[in-house]
Amino acid sequence: MKKILLIRFSSIGDIVLTTPVIRCLKNQLGAEIHFLTKRPFLPLLEANPHLDKIFTIENKIVEVLPILKSEHYDYIIDLHKNLRSFQVQWALHSKTFSFDKLNFEKWLLVNFRINRLPKIHIVDRYFQATKPIDVVNDGQGLDYYFPKNFNGKLPAQGIKYIAIAIGAAHQTKRLPTKKIIELCKKSTLPVQLLGGSDEANEGEQISKDAGNHVTNYCGKLSLHESAKIIQHAHLVITHDSGMMHIAAAFQKEIVSIWGSTVTDFGMTPYYGDQLNKNQTFQVEGLSCRPCTKIGFAKCPKGHFRCMVDQDTNAIVQIHRNVQRL
């Protein structure tokens, strides 16, 4: 039996996007699969039945190098490609496969609006790393697993509602608060707001100003509890964020809203060979997009048109169409 180490340190969405690779390595090779990540992201992986061992770090690779060396891996699949993952490669001397991050192509698009990015999703680029060992994408999409004894907060049963994930890693990937309030006010279904502790105050303001049909869960739920809300939602409205990829793992109807980043980067909701249930909203024709491949704390131009100009009426119309399903 082969023994393989996968490396992806962060973040929520990126780790969820590795799950097809984990599944296909296990199912197609029958290999022993280990995963190395940062400790905060352990909940995303610990219930995955295709993983045999998970190693985590707080800050530095030296925390786990002795035990990794003792495993004697046949292969390393590096799905992060940064200094830390290179340190693992150098220390273990195992045959390593990786993928093209397309950083130069992204730089061209951000800085010169020259688009040489291939029309290929990040999941399929991850699978470039497994091609040398004859592992291919099975087309079954993403996975999300709950712990066997999960007993966290569950959504009300039998009630149609919309989940709106108001957070994102960077401010320029998020709708302004007043736009989210506007969106919530127009909703004809109950709304569940999702976000972390950083969005708690914003969630309170939105629920207060938008109406009694809006419930604020920001900062009140664990990652798995938020995932349960998403799993049972009739529709998920989300920014380019980890919650978007969790929603895709559950094959949910999604409205994805894009600001400073663009879909050309290959990070859209991924459904594999299943029906694409995502509706993308981005303000077309802005010469300043994309201004970054990741995000900024504020709009470099000061006008933030990529989010201020989002059409909430059109978004709500999508939600009304889905409501009829």
Q: Could you report the per-residue pLDDT of 50-100, keeping only the tens digit for each?
A: 999 999 999 999 999 999 999 999 999 999 999 999 999 999 999 999 999
Look at residue 322 and tell me whether its pLDDT is greater than 90: no
Look at residue 319 and tell me whether its pLDDT is greater than 80: no
Task: Provide the token pair at 141.
Answer: 């999409």
Q: 3-class SS at 129?
A: helix
Please indicate whether the domains covering 3-133 and 162-323 agree at the CATH topology level.
yes
Q: What is the DSSP code (8-state) at residue 175?
A: -
> Could you tell me which of 236, 66, 99 has the C-alpha nearest to residue 162?
236
Task: Provide the token pair at 94.
Answer: 């195992």
Class of domain 162-323: alpha beta
Average pLDDT of the chain, as a whole number: 96
Domain covering 3-133 assigned CATH 3.30.70.260 in the classification = no
The contacts of residue 90 (CB under 8 Å, 6+ apart) are none
Q: Grade residue 323 by pLDDT with cuts at 50, 70 and 90.
A: low
Euclidean distance between CA atoms 18 and 37, whole angstroms: 12
Euclidean distance between CA atoms 113 and 201, whole angstroms: 37
Task: Provide the token pair at 303.
Answer: 């006008």
> Are the C-beta atoms of 115 and 109 separated by less than 8 Å?
yes
For the chain, which residues make up each domain, given as ranges?
3-133, 162-323
Cis peptide before 11 (omega within 30 of 0): yes
Euclidean distance between CA atoms 103 and 65, whole angstroms: 28
Look at residue 153 and tell me whether its pLDDT is greater than 90: no
Q: Grade residue 325 by pLDDT with cuts at 50, 70 and 90.
A: low
Q: 3-class SS at 28?
A: helix
Residue type for 23, please?
Answer: R
Count other C-beta atoms under 10 Å from residue 159's C-beta: 11
Q: What are the start-end ranges of the H helices in the chain?
A: 12-16, 19-29, 65-71, 83-92, 103-112, 122-126, 177-186, 200-210, 223-231, 242-249, 305-308, 312-323
Locus of tokens 């197609």: 28
pTM > 0.95: yes
Q: What is the DSSP code (8-state) at residue 130?
A: T
Residue 324: predicted pLDDT: 66
Task: Tell me which of 12-21, 157-166, 203-212, 256-265 is least confident.
Answer: 157-166
